[in-house]
Structure 1
Amino acid sequence: MDIDTHLYLVSAQVVPNLTPALDPSVAPRTVILLCHAGMRAQTEALTAVLKGRGISVEHWPIDDPWDLEHLQERVLELLARFSEQPGRIALNATGGTKPMSIAAYEVFRAAGAPIFYVHPELDRLIWMSPADRPNVELDNRLRLDVFLQAHGASVESAIGEAVPAARRELTAWLAANTGRLGGTLKTLNWLAFKSEGVLRSPRLDEHSARDIELRTLIERLESAEVLRFEGGRLHFPDEEARFYANGGWLEEHVYDLVRALRREHQCGIQDLARSLQIVRRNQRDQPVRNELDVAFLAENRLYLIECKTRQWRNDRDQTGPGSEALFRLDVLADLLGGLQARAMLVSYHPLDKRVKRRAADLRIQVCDGAKLAELGGVLARWTGC
């Protein structure tokens, strides 16, 4: 008898309950979610994703995820529906609390019903019972929007197109000249920032107008059609170009390097995007908006990268902007990617040593200052390419 139903134990671990359902070799027609009130948001998010893929979903509620006897009774009640054909339903023992997993495993084992476990890092489905079934290397079919939806966030907009050649060349030049362009880029950032909404900067003052490095930078931007210099002002064709000059070029650079890794190496990068605008719900069910500079999935693991061109000040305490950026990254990685998520902060300017130590404590990768020229290699090592 073929398995057509899976029992999933709802928990904060979303991916192990999602990848088996989306792999054609083991995908069920029906998923039953063993769930409790404390995991309502995760239950609803997982239900939405599964139903969106044509899978029937049923909730099997429990009162207490830590009461072993109660859990055994609830799983026994469920298996009673399959008493004549216990081989039709398989348990995914990966998620849930420890008592949920133990209770479900014991009941399924006693009934002779199939049990499997999903390796959280290898995306491998391992059959625990019967043990003679071959393990399954699960397909990397998840896309960013589906992954984020399963973690309770919806994507309102994102950019996933290739970077034009002229912009790619300009961006690489900017990244390669971190040393001599520091002050000049600060001026460009300020001019672009002041252009928001009007697409026209304030007039350059006498000092800036005589700055040879700034004029060289403006000429490079003009050649790539990012802006036009006229009447002592910067004129931008659209908001996207203004954002690029206001520091968005670093985001574009990082994104292009990840695209190159995906194109040139077999390292499992399955989907990527930049400038993602997402909405999620907080504990009071209120919408919270966040922007993700660069995000991608590799081997069903979420990677988040924050890109900063600002100069860092007051970073010697826990409330400085560098520390705030790290804590924001850490929280978002946990909320949107769970335990397996990884995060990186890419900074045009050097970070204080104390901030770097905090990044190490939070297991956040950092690439800053002159090391920006080595970012391609840093990304390759970080992703295992």
Structure 2
Amino acid sequence: MKHIHVCLISEQTIPNILGIFYFKPEEVLFITTEQMLKREKTEAIVNTLKRLGLNIPFFEIVVREDSIYDCHRKIAQWMEKHEEDNFTVNLTCGTKIMSIATYEIFKDYGSKMIYIPIPKNEFFEVYPLKKLSEPQPLPLRLGVIEYLTAYSLRVINEAKLNRYKEESEKRKALTNWIVTNYNSIEGLLSEFYKVLQKSRNVSSFDLTIEFPISNELQRDFLKAVGFNISGRTISKRLSRSEIRYLTGGWLEEYVFNSLNSIKGRGIDDVVMNVEIENIQGNKNEFDVMFTKDNALYFVECKSLSPEDEITKSSLYKIGALQKEFGLRVQSFFVTTSPHIIKDGQIRQSVRARAEQFKTEIIKPDEIVNFETIIRKKLKIMEE
């Protein structure tokens, strides 16, 4: 006699992952459809569970999602070989027809059946019937890579993510200094962006430019980064990491460090510079992603980009990923660019685009308070 956990497959994969991880059955039965087979939803669930340390044998039944007769017939046929087993059933996903058929069959076996109200991390026992069914907490919290895996997205550069984290932590003091003194060094950073933006992916770059240092903070910054200064001439052999840092990576690292400082105290996981690929082979890179309570958030950062890149490339990238995931993906757009501001307010065209993609804009004068803003938006209490 085995414990088999039954799942109905649909676009949402997280509820099934939470249920399987909670019950830790000996085997799993996935009831799916042809459409979900093409989208590799079962594989996404199984691969996520493997990342979580669960390698559970599974069965798969393919039904017509609009035919209660087909659902009944195929489930009942499978059950003929498993009548002596014990079952728990997650009714959260699938179509209504699939849920009705599954409920009717497993009710006859006295099976425990649950429902997870998305997006809550808890379940209700809907059968056997009880007068009062108190919600039971689901303790699992997915990290970023587990979440992406659950939606059939592959992280291409997973091996590099820890190095990005280490580099960000080493530069944390300098990054905080840049944010605090940004107005005084903006001209210098703008010059770096103009000269280096097309060389962000080269392994190294010998930079020599003429720049009129106008204040001591600019000089302090150049010394901190390791530049040679001779009159108006500044020079340095830059690594790829340094090139990316000087062309906007400092802003990404500031956002990452702010979120990483509350990891485990409100934020479950955070990574930066994530390169992902979907099952169609389309690839994209995202600045910062983090998870909280099994919801995914991401932050797009732009420092000194032109206005058309702000309103088109960045916000459309946010929209593309939201379409990939669905409504639970929430986003923030952090920028130092003055192009988004008019008369002290966010430009209407930019605001409209952000609202279209359900994106919160962090204005240039708000960046220094990014952690406080995130805490307030996500209702994370100060310790």
* 1:27 correspondence with 2:20: no
What is the match of residue 343 of structure 2?
A: none
**Equivalent-residue separation in structure 2 for 1:6 and 1:165 (angstroms):** 43
How far 1:321 sits from its partner (Å)? Answer: 4.2
Using the TM superposition, give the Cα deviation of residue 356 of structure 1 relative to its aligned residue in structure 2, in angstroms. 1.5
TM-score by length of structure 1 reads: 0.84
Contact 1:22 1:141 in 2 (8 A): no
For 2:71 and 2:96, the matched residues in 1 are separated by 11
**What SS does the aligned partner of 1:21 have?**
helix
Question: Matched residues, percent identical?
Answer: 22
Matched to 1:222, the amino acid is K
> What letter is aligned with 2:299?
I
What aligned pairs does 1:291-370 form with structure 2 within 5 A after superposition? 291-314=285-308, 321-335=310-324, 337-350=325-338, 351=340, 352-370=347-365
Aligned-partner Cα distance in 1 for 2:290–2:168: 20
What is the aligned length? 360
Tell me the distance in 2 between the aligned counterparts of 1:36 and 1:384: 38
Question: Match for residue 54 of structure 1?
Answer: 55
- Secondary structure at 1:82 match in 2: coil
How far the C-alpha of 1:31 sits from its partner, in A, is: 1.3
- In structure 2, relative to structure 1, the CA distance for the partners of 1:256 and 1:108 (3 Å cut) is same
Secondary structure of 2:263 counterpart:
helix
Q: Is the 8 A contact 1:90 1:114 kept in 2?
A: yes
Question: CA-to-partner distance for each residue in 1:205-247, whole Å, 9 max, x for gaps?
Answer: 3xxx22315x743531432xx4423573432452112211111
Shift in alpha-carbon separation, 1:192–1:229, aligned structure 2, 3 A: farther
**1:212 lines up with 2:214 in the alignment:** yes
Specify the SS of the correspondent of 1:75.
Answer: helix
Point out the more displaced range, 233-242 or 146-155.
Answer: 233-242
Query: Taking structure 1 as reference, are residues 57 and 198 closer, same or farther at Cα in structure 2, changes over 3 Å only?
Result: closer
Match of 2:270 in 1: 272
Measured at CA, do residues 353 and 176 of structure 1 come closer, stay the same or move farther in structure 2, by a change above 3 Å?
farther
RMSD: 2.6
Aligned to 2:344: none
Match of 1:109 in 2: 107
Q: Deviations over 1:193-214 (max 9, x none)?
A: 3554263355323xxx22315x
What is the correspondence of 1:49-88 to structure 2 with a 5 Å cutoff?
Answer: 49-50=48-49, 53-62=54-63, 64-85=64-85, 88=86
Classify 1:165/1:151 alpha carbon distance in 2 versus 1 (closer, same or farther; 3 Å): closer
Please tell me the residue identity of whatever aligns with 1:187.
E
Residue 30 to residue 218, structure 1, CA distance change in 2 (3 Å) = farther
Instruction: State the Cα distance separating 1:119 from its structure 2 match.
Output: 2.5
Change (3 A) 1:334 1:234: farther
Give the TM-score taking structure 2 as reference length. 0.84
1:357 partner SS: helix
Structure 2 counterparts to residues 90-109 of structure 1, below 5 A: 90-109=88-107
Could you tell me which amino acid in structure 1 is paired with residue 114 of structure 2? F
Task: Give the conservation status (yes or no) of the 8 Å contact 2:208–2:236.
Answer: no
1:323-374 residue CA offsets vs partner (Å, 9 max, x unmatched): 3322221221342x44322111111114233211221232111112212122
Paired residue secondary structure (1:18): helix
Amino acid at match of 1:217: Q
Give the counterpart letter for 1:229 in structure 2. Answer: N
Match of 1:184 in 2: 188
